Amino acid sequence: MIDFLSIAYPWVKALHIMSVIAWMAGIFYLPRLFVYHVEKSIYGDQQDQIFQEMEHKLLRVIMNPAMIATWVFGLVLVFTPGVIDWSAVWPYTKMAAVLTMTWFHHWLAKRRKEFASGKNILSGRQYRMMNELPTALMVIIVLSVVVRF
């Protein structure tokens, strides 16, 4: 099994990167959709229905599979011999940022359900502010992996 992981490493790494890109695209776009949703529609109108469909499909068709794939390929990389130096700090900073990104994903999913039930209480400004979190997490993750501080 260990030999297979070493041989498959470039493919797993490539699939991990592609999954991360898809996940991050959704993580950046969904809060932006929420901003427009809260500012341009009211519950039950035609635009509300359009926003709800877009948000639902983005979350269920793109973001959820991308997050799962990111985790699966990331864990395969974790178990590939020689990829991670557990005596360094970077695996732990990356892990904390990825866990926070996963929490944010679930936070967004909960907000989508609130929109679907007409119970959203957050403003466009609040969604704009929360949209900064994935950028900060992305910086931490990329610096952790590339600079390996």
Residue 1 has pLDDT above 70, yes or no: no
Phi, psi of 42 (to 5 degrees): -125, 155
pLDDT of residue 5: 85
Distances (CA, A) of 94 to 5, 17, 28, 64: 21, 14, 19, 20
What's the whole-number average pLDDT of the chain? 96
22: containing domain: 2-147
Q: Helix, strand or coil for residue 82?
A: coil
Instruction: Classify residue 51 as exposed, middle or buried by CB count within 10 Å of its CB (0-12, 13-18, 19+).
Output: buried
Residue 31 near residue 130 (C-beta atoms within 8 A): yes
Split into its structural domains, the chain has a count of: 1
Residue 6 has pLDDT above 90, yes or no: no
pLDDT of residue 94: 97
Phi, psi of 123 (to 5 degrees): -95, 170
Residue 134 has pLDDT above 70, yes or no: yes
Q: Could you tell me the pTM of the whole model? A: 0.93
